Amino acid sequence: MTPETLGAAAIAYIALMFLLAHAADRAAARGRWRWMDRPVVYTLSLSVYCSAWTFFGAVGYASRSGLEFLTIYLGPGIVFAGAWWGLRRLLRVARMHRVTSIADLISSRFGKSAALAALVTLISMLAATPYIALQLQSFTMAISVFAEPGDPLPGNISLWVGIGLAAFTILFGTRNLAADERHHGVVMAIAVEAVVKLAAFIAVGTYVLWGLADGPADVLARIDRLAESPEGQGWLIRPDRWFTLIALSGAAVVVLPRMFHVLVVEANDEDRLRHAGWAFPAYLAAMSFLVLPIAVIGRDFLPADANPDLYVLTLPLSQGLDTLAALVFLGGFSSAMSMVVVSAIALSTMMANHWLVPLWLWLRQATLSAPAGAQEDLGALMLNARRLAIVAVIGAGWVYHQASGGTAALAAMGIVAFSGMAQVLPAMVVGLSWRGATRRGATAGVLAGALIWAQMVFLPSLGLIAPPVMPAGIDPFAGAVLLALSVNLTLLILVSLIDFPDPVERMQALSFVHAIAPDSTPNEAAPSTKSEELLTLAGRIWGSENALEFFRGMAEQQGKSGYLPDLTPRFLVDFERRLAGTVGAATAAALMTRVVGRGGVTVADLMEVAGEASQAREANRRLELTSSELARTAAMLRETNDKLTALSAHKDAFLGQISHELRTPMTSIQAFSEILKEPGLSDEDRSRFAGIIHDEASRLTRLLQDLIDLAVLEVGSARLKPAVINLHDLIERALAASGATAPQRTFTIQRNRPAEHMSVITDPDRLLQVLINVIANARKYCDAEFPVIRIDTRRAAAGGTEIDISDNGSGIAPESRALIFEKFARLNDPARAGGAGLGLAICKEIMEFLGGRIAYLPGRGGACFRITLPARPPVSQANDAN
Amino acid sequence: MKPRTRRLFLGREGYRRRRAADATRVVMAAFALAALLPPIWLPQYFSYALGTVWLAATWSLTILATAALHRILTQPPAEDEDDA
């Protein structure tokens, strides 16, 4: 087995993971992700805790320090035994606030503080860099075991590994900016890797336990014999380290960015903790108790100068078991890969949300709600910020690895990372259990703790400064960690006690500590004119389809049709929370303030909320359902009433209009036919008058045809003639036919021709009528200087087809949108439109008849109509046609 | 604010579920004590084979107990039933 073969195997393995992640993402995109949303996948994904440090380093750790290596697994074991009690609350609160990372959780709890989020991100970044370097290092070390002595490896292996992992992370970690931070493909891949590493470790462990040793009793006997040797002194448990390390690892399993990501952010519900609560400790126990035989037997079987960190590879190799060694290598690679990928995703989300985007917002005081097209795509900016951050995170790890260059400094890096991230724990635990904890308290605590950690643990671990001197008998590491944590906690409590938090902070504190959904304050209602601006903002972050979907859902809940809900306080809170699920709480709050221009919440508002809440609590509970139902009905009634009032006015106007429209041609036909009766007319005049009579008669026929069309469709006696047609051909015909409208203007038509080639089953003549009508309308009403008509077609998620026809004019005013599809409604000057105002009404009837719909899309700059066709036309009518 | 309502008294099933949830806390505390106290108190005995067996045994027991308790928690919440 040569390093080249193993390198090829590693590449093949990464390729396999690419395929798996791709397949899982595709299945998820099609809504078939139930099977990967099982508790077992969740539990396996938690095993990202076991990085290459566990896989290789634990054996080395055990052979040097004995049972102390177990502390790294006992801590999580204890925490998960109480998962149902402690972690469930955390998951519930985090899901309620759509938390995207540990930094976001802390920031959100302490008044959506951007500074605190940036600080936690910095600590996470500092702690993770050496940890990622350790993964690259372990890969290089592992592959070098297989090299022939005197045959050096190429120097840039770790660079290529880093590039490969960054590519994987960027491809599957930043595909799109979802409204929640879940990555099905990545989770599936790390679940499979968890199985690979467990299988590899169990294989080598069982082989050592029963193949090389004589079972557990033999190993225990060897351990006891070792106790009497001088090395046995190193195995003696040091109480201060034992306690500190268990506490640290218990904290790490929650607060390490990658653990927080898989444990909290990727969790779909809190119920899965019931399985993970015992299955994850079982996984850890299996991994950790097999470490001991490998360490003990390795010491007895291998030469004294063999590196204990690599026993797990060198033991099978020394027995000539190349295949087992290769499997172990892949297991170690799996651990390194999943750790780096998930860390990079978690850290890049934090860096993008808490460093890059706030910086960008601060640099550009741009209006965020300008119509799409006039502004760059915020979503793409966020994704690129994340990609950049991924490269930065993995790149920093690689640079650190190159700079440190040795294994000695790296071995302790796992614990250094743990102790750094543990500085976030007091803020998290106290913040979730005490309403009195304040932002200033948390900042002071985290900052002081982090400084002490940097001075006494982090910098000495790099060899930059000397380790701290502790009184005799106290372990320097344990002493430093306990000191940092105590100062951290003390400052948090003391500063909080004398502080007076601002109202937003107090609202958040209440919501986090009592796990109550965040609510609005009375002055949060915003002018309704802002809702289109919010839609534009959402469209620029989530993509306009997702934004429209969300807004339509919210409008529906309020009992409104269309895409623009009223800006009720409830809607604003929901929207902000949803936004926070993508960009983090602090940035979401900043964006909302910028677009909606909300004033700050005051203490008086807070008191009002509290007062009302306590008085009306019981009554509210009973009335809540009824009143929301009533509100919905009322909103619907109001909307219908407005429509009816406007329609009644229009109807009167229409009757006048229709008589006028019918009378005018009749009068001219009558007059000209009178003239034709006169003798002595020249042939030329005669033919001209006959032409006029013909034109007027045609106009009359057209008008009558429209009225008959509408009547037939409304009564439901129309017949559907379904056929399979190519949408492209239909659009071509529609464009040609509508070219006669406003022929003097030159239009730029933007289309995606290849995408239009899709077959649809519908009544082609009817659909053509709708297309011609909408395109002709765009030609008639688009008031841009250089008019552009854009046609987009796509398959809808539900299986139908969507056709968007938009122009770059000034669009339709919000107050008129409710009426455009009604009969007799014509928005502007009749003379200009030259019709009876039946066009869109007929379109609407036709689309309903075809089983689809036509709707006006707001927030697209100009006017935009979406025609939605079902996958198949309605059955009953089709059967009638047969 | 949306009030959270919690029944003051529960029927048999709901009562059992609550106690099972309590028991998981007891198991956690017991395991924490078992993992921390003996090795800190008597490191000379618990640093070697005895410690290995002790930790393996207590951890396995904890995992089994948690699994059993979590199975009880699986049953659908019966908090709506009348007090029996």
DSSP assignment of A89-107: HHHHHHHHTT--SHHHHHH
Q: Does B22 map to a domain?
A: yes
Q: What is the pLDDT of residue B83?
A: 38
Q: Are A787 and A751 in contact (CB under 8 A)?
A: no
Averaged pLDDT of chain A: 83
pLDDT at A612: 55
User: Using one digit for the tens of pLDDT, what is the confidence trace for A104-152?
Assistant: 999 999 988 889 999 999 999 998 988 898 888 888 888 888 887 766 6
Contact by Cβ (8 Å): A352, A389: yes
Q: Pick from A223, A275, A514: which is nearest to B52 by CB?
A: A223
Mean pLDDT lowest for which of A34-48, A316-330, A429-443? A34-48
CATH architecture, range A605-715: Orthogonal Bundle (1.10)
Q: Is residue B82 part of a domain?
A: no
Residues of A in contact with B47 (CB under 8 A): 66-67, 227, 235-237
A385-394, A559-568, A574-583, A745-754: least confident range? A559-568
Which segments of A115-211 are extended strands (E)? none
Q: Touching check for B27 and chain A: CB below 8 Å?
A: yes
How many alpha carbons lie under 13 Å from residue A445 in its C-beta half-sphere? 30
In a domain, B40, yes or no: yes
The percent helix, strand, coil of chain A (3-state, each to 5) is 70, 5, 25
Structure confidence at residue A616 (pLDDT): 58
Other beta carbons within 10 angstroms of residue A282's beta carbon come to 18
Query: What residue type is A235 in one-letter code?
Result: W
pLDDT single digits (tens) A297-313? 998 888 888 888 889 99
CA-CA distance, A552 to A558, in Å (whole number)? 10
CB proximity A289 to B under 8 Å: yes
Q: Determine, for residues B66 and A617 on separate chains, whether the beta-carbon distance falls below 8 Å.
A: no
In chain A, what percentage of residues exceed pLDDT 90? Answer: 26
Q: Hey, where are the domains in chain A? A: 3-363+377-498, 519-601, 605-715, 723-881
Maximum C-alpha span of chain A: 138
B3 — contact with chain A (CB < 8 Å)? Answer: yes
CA distance A294 to chain B (A): 14
What percent of chain A is modeled with pLDDT above 70? 89
Residue with tokens 């009757």: A655
Q: Which two tokens stand for residue A193?
A: 């890797």
Q: Which of A16-25, A196-205, A377-386, A409-418 has the lowest mean pLDDT?
A: A409-418
A34's torsion region: left (phi>0), alpha (psi -120 to 50) or beta? alpha
A66 touches chain B (CB under 8 A): yes
A223 touches chain B (CB under 8 A): yes
Judged by average pLDDT, the poorest of A210-214, A649-653, A851-855, B59-63 is A649-653
Given a contact cutoff of 8 angstroms between Cβ atoms, the answer to whether A219 and A294 are in contact is: no
Contact present, A349 and A145 (Cβ < 8 Å): no
CA angle (A161 as vertex; A155, A164 as ends), nearest 5: 140
Number of structural domains in chain B:
1
Assess if residue B4 is contained within a domain. no
Angle between helices A311-318 and A184-206 (to 10 degrees): 50
Task: For residues A739 and A742, give the distance between their C-alpha atoms in angstroms, rounded to a whole number.
Answer: 7
Q: Which residues of chain A make contact with B62, given a CB cutoff of 8 A?
A: 77, 81, 281
Q: Which residue of chain A has the CA closest to B25?
A: A82
- β-bridge partners, A375: A372
Higher pLDDT, A629 or A334: A334
Tally A–B CB contacts below 8 A. 122
Which of A96, A248, A273, A274 best tests the B interface by mutation, with the highest count of B CBs <10 A? A274
Mutate to test the interface with B, among A79, A242, A435 (most CBs of B within 10 A): A242
Complex ipTM: 0.89
Which residues in chain A have Cβ-Cβ distances shorter than 8 Å to B1? 510, 516, 519, 609, 613, 617
Q: What is the pLDDT averaged over residues A586-596?
A: 78
B48 touching A (Cβ < 8 Å)? yes
Which residues of chain B does A235 touch, with a Cβ-Cβ cutoff of 8 Å? 47-48
A723-881 has CATH 3.30.70.580 classification: no
Does the beta carbon of A622 lie under 8 angstroms from any beta carbon of chain B? no
Which chain B residue has its CA at the smallest distance from A612's CA? B1
CATH classification (class only), A3-363+377-498: mainly alpha
Task: Tell me the C-alpha distance between A287 and A55, whole Å.
Answer: 8
Q: Which of A25-39, A112-126, A638-652 comes out lowest in average pLDDT?
A: A25-39
3-state secondary structure (DSSP) of residue A598: coil
A360 burial (CB, 10 Å; 0-12 / 13-18 / 19+) is middle
Place of tokens 């003379």: A831
**Could you please report the per-residue DSSP string of A633-690?**
HHHHHHHHHHHHHHHHHHHHHHHHHHHHHHHHHHHHHHHHHHHHHSTT--HHHHHHHH
Residue B63 with chain A: CB contacts under 8 Å: 278, 281-282, 285
pLDDT tens digits, A388-434: 999 999 999 888 888 776 555 556 778 888 999 999 999 999 999 99
Q: Does A236 touch chain B (CB under 8 A)?
A: yes
Residue of A nearest to B4 (CA): A516
- Tell me the chain B residues in contact with residue A84 when contact means C-beta distances shorter than 8 Å: 21, 24, 69-70, 73
Query: Which residues, numbered 479 to 518 in chain A, qualify as contacts with chain B under a Cβ-Cβ cut-off of 8 Å?
Result: 510, 514-517
pLDDT tens-digit readout, A59-101: 988 988 889 999 999 999 999 998 888 898 899 998 888 888 9
Chain position carrying tokens 């972690």 = A87
Q: How far apart are CA A388 and CA A405, in angstroms?
A: 25
The tokens of A802 are what? 């969507």
More confident residue, A501 or A570: A501
Residue B2 maps to a domain:
no
CB neighbour list of residue A354: distance below 8 Å, 6 or more residues apart = A103, A104, A107, A114, A117, A118, A120, A121, A584, A586, A587
3-state secondary structure (DSSP) of residue A492? helix
Domain range for B50: 12-74
* List of residues 6+ apart from A45 with CB closer than 8 A: A187, A190, A191, A194, A262, A266
**pLDDT (0 to 100) of residue A850:** 87
Largest CA distance in chain B: 56
Enumerate helices (H) and strands (E) in chain A, giving the number of each: 39, 7
Residue pLDDT, tens place only, B11-60: 888 888 888 889 999 999 999 999 999 999 999 889 989 999 999 999 99
Nearest to A74 among B24, B35, B67 (CB): B35
- Domain membership of residue B24 (yes or no) is yes
Distance of CA A445 to the CA centre of its chain: 31
What is the rounded distance in angstroms from the CA atom of residue A187 to the CA atom of residue B17?
Answer: 31
Alpha-carbon distance A376 to A382, whole Å?
11
Q: Say if B75 is an interface residue toward chain A (CB within 8 Å).
A: no
